[in-house]
Amino acid sequence: MRRIGLLGGMSWHSSIEYYTKINDAVAKQLGGHHSAQILLDSCDFADIRELQEANDWAGNDASLVATAQRLVDGGAEAVAIATNLMHKCAPAIEVSVDAPLIHMVDSIATMAKRQGYSTLAVLGTRWTMLEDFYTGRLEAQGIKTLVPDEATCLEVDQIIWDELTQGVFTDNSRARYVEIMNDLKDRGADAVALSCTEIGLLVPRRPLPYPRSTPSTRTSLRSWSG
């Protein structure tokens, strides 16, 4: 079995789900006492968040490249970013680190096509919804994307940072997210990409089917690891 390097801690709530689900997939497929060979480098998210708020993405690029390199130096044969938003730094990792990056968006696109979805609603941070590093990569693979209007994107983003990434999950926010998903369904979405792992923890039952980012990436990582 090949060793996977996970860039984690962004937030640690999502890292737990990645670690658990990848091991769960390995155990189910191989049985017995098998588990995944994983190296996890978990950052202090406050450092990453400070750079995000300063719009210093060059700083975040440098931080994640250094993390990925540590994982490779430690024996990882491929790396994966255990969070959606920080795939904004994926190009820097891909050109700087001598190991493949298992890209979350590619995993989601593959699963969406396999399940017959052609139009994905995308919910995540404002960068994920309003910039093209995420939706553009889906579109390039033949998946149409829909996002809320800008004001709603900012509302979704605020709930993520003020609540979800700090482990706070409220009924009011859950109801609002379901309302937003229903609106995107009415606009033509046939599935929703929960492009922030913590959204799946907030809204376990949704009005749209979903090729969720963590299970999609988990499947790709399991297939890659052998």
Residues belonging to the chain: 226
Q: In this structure, are residues 67 and 196 in contact, taking their beta carbons and an 8 Å threshold? A: no
Q: Residues 43, 89, 153, 196: which is the catalytic one?
A: 196
Q: In this structure, are residues 40 and 18 in contact, taking their beta carbons and an 8 Å threshold? A: no
Structure tokens at 188: 């033509």
Q: Residues 83, 214, 217, 219: which is the catalytic one?
A: 83
Name the helix (H) or strand (E) containing 106: helix 104-114
C-alpha 102/C-alpha 151 separation (Å) is 32
Q: In this structure, are residues 208 and 184 in contact, taking their beta carbons and an 8 Å threshold? A: yes
Distances in whole angstroms, Cα of residue 171 to Cα of each of 163, 168, 175, 176:
12, 10, 6, 9
Structure tokens at 164: 């979800």
Distances in whole angstroms, Cα of residue 5 to Cα of each of 114, 130, 165:
26, 29, 22
Name the helix (H) or strand (E) containing 193: strand 191-194
Looking up tokens 């300063």 gives 54
C-alpha 115/C-alpha 120 separation (Å) is 12
Residue 83 is among the residues annotated as catalytic for this protein: yes
Active site amino acids? 83, 196
